[in-house]
Amino acid sequence: MPQSTVHCLYRLVFAVFLAAFSVHDAAALTLKPWKDDLFGYGTVVETADDGTLRVVDYQEMRDINGRDQIPERRVKSAYVSTAVKKAQKNLTLDTPAGPLDVAMTGKSEGATFTVIFIHGRGGDRRLGNNDWNFGGNFNRIKNLAVQNGGVYYAPSVPSFDEKGAARISGLVLRAKALSPDAPVILACASMGSFICARVVRDPIAVKSLSGMVLMGGAADGDYAKTPAFKAKLPVFFTHGDSDPVYAANDQIAVFRKLRKAGIPTRFVLFQTGGHGTPVRMTDWRETLNWLFAQKG
């Protein structure tokens, strides 16, 4: 056999190997641990729905006062690494619906994954970019993004209507275009869930999403009518069981409808937790690893 033919065969075999490796690697995306001993869930006091719903022990005196140097204002330094600041920047991105201010941490192009966090009423990109509030939980997602080759966006939502949602849909599509093989996760807290509810009604945006996280959000009674429901988009819920703004039982009802329909879903309920508890206590690494495992 001519030497040139042999070389061609080697190149072909090597290319097939690389392609197979890349597919396997993408399917097996798992975030490396980062301060799991501090951010992982405590005692699971109850399970339901075949273990897909967990009630996690939450105690304000321990999980706020014991965790923060100044309660609700500044977490203890053990929970934070500010080295991540060199990988973050504030940007104004163009979307088809208009400009969007974002705080971005990580590599936007060729990222291994994308997480987009949507704040609630009265917030902006500073909320989801805050290292020291919320028990250091946003600092953790930023570190997880940087250390695992991903990207984290905290945009300023200009409004919680169709116009605001259209800009977030534009960000979803932009993220997918820059990193086409990477999962894109949309995480919405509190009133930010109104944005999630609108984005999942956009069939084009839904095709670019790999999962959604709802943190103390409003229940979407018509979710079964959305393109996301039809596509069986995986959804992870976290909620405080004493939330005075959006009742936990309303969201649990939506979760059970999804589960009955065969949609991959999980629910973490924080015992005695209030409206802001999920933003502080959601275990980003566990949540994202579960969502990534649903891919394909």
> Residue ranges per domain, the chain?
1-30, 33-293
Q: Is residue 28 predicted with pLDDT exceeding 80? A: no
Q: What is the band of 24 on the pLDDT scale with cuts at 50, 70, 90?
A: very low
Q: Give me the mean pLDDT over the 194-208 stretch.
A: 98
Q: Give me the mean pLDDT over the 61-73 stretch.
A: 97
Query: What phi and psi, each to the nearest 5 degrees, are found at residue 277?
Result: -60, -45
Q: Give me the mean pLDDT over the 208-233 stretch.
A: 98
Q: Give me the mean pLDDT over the 69-98 stretch.
A: 97
Tell me the pairing of strands 235-240 and 265-271.
Answer: parallel
Q: What is the band of 235 on the pLDDT scale with cuts at 50, 70, 90?
A: very high
| Longest Cα–Cα distance in the chain | 76
123-130: long-range contacts, CB 8 A cutoff, minimum separation 24? 123/157, 123/192, 124/156, 124/157, 125/90, 125/101, 125/154, 125/155, 125/156, 126/154, 127/154, 128/103, 128/154, 129/88, 129/103, 129/105, 129/154
How big is the CA angle at 215 (ends 211 and 220), to the nearest 5 degrees? 75
Query: What phi and psi, each to the nearest 5 degrees, are found at residue 63?
Result: -90, -10
Return d(Cα 148, Cα 248) in angstroms, integer: 33
Q: What percent of the chain has pLDDT over 70?
A: 90
pTM of the predicted model as reported, rounded to 2 decimal places: 0.90
Crossing angle for the helix pair 284-293 and 137-147, nearest 10 degrees?
50
pLDDT in the model for residue 10: 28
Fold designation for 33-293? Rossmann fold (3.40.50)
Tell me the β-bridge partners of 55: 46, 269
Closest CA to 119 of 133, 98, 99: 133
In whole angstroms, what separates CA 44 from the centre of its chain?
Answer: 22
Tell me the pairing of strands 235-240 and 211-215.
Answer: parallel
How big is the CA angle at 147 (ends 145 and 150), to the nearest 5 degrees? 35
Residues 258 and 225: beta-carbon distance below 8 Å:
no
Residues 91 and 125: beta-carbon distance below 8 Å:
no
253 vs 11, residue with greater confidence: 253
How big is the CA angle at 289 (ends 286 and 294), to the nearest 5 degrees? 130
Return d(Cα 199, Cα 169) in angstroms, integer: 6
Tell me the β-bridge partners of 90: 103
pLDDT in the model for residue 1: 45
Return d(Cα 166, Cα 201) in angstroms, integer: 11
pLDDT in the model for residue 27: 53
Could you report the per-residue pLDDT of 173-197, keeping only the tens digit for each? 999 999 999 999 999 999 999 999 9
Task: Tell me how long the chain is.
Answer: 296
Q: Produce one character per residue of 161-180: b if its CB has 16 or more CB atoms within 10 Å, e if not.
A: eeebbbbbbbbbbbbbeebe
Q: Give me the mean pLDDT over the 124-149 stretch.
A: 98
- Mean pLDDT (the chain) is 91
Residues 132 and 74: beta-carbon distance below 8 Å:
yes
Could you report the per-residue pLDDT of 259-283, keeping only the tens digit for each? 999 999 999 999 999 999 999 999 9
pLDDT in the model for residue 295: 72
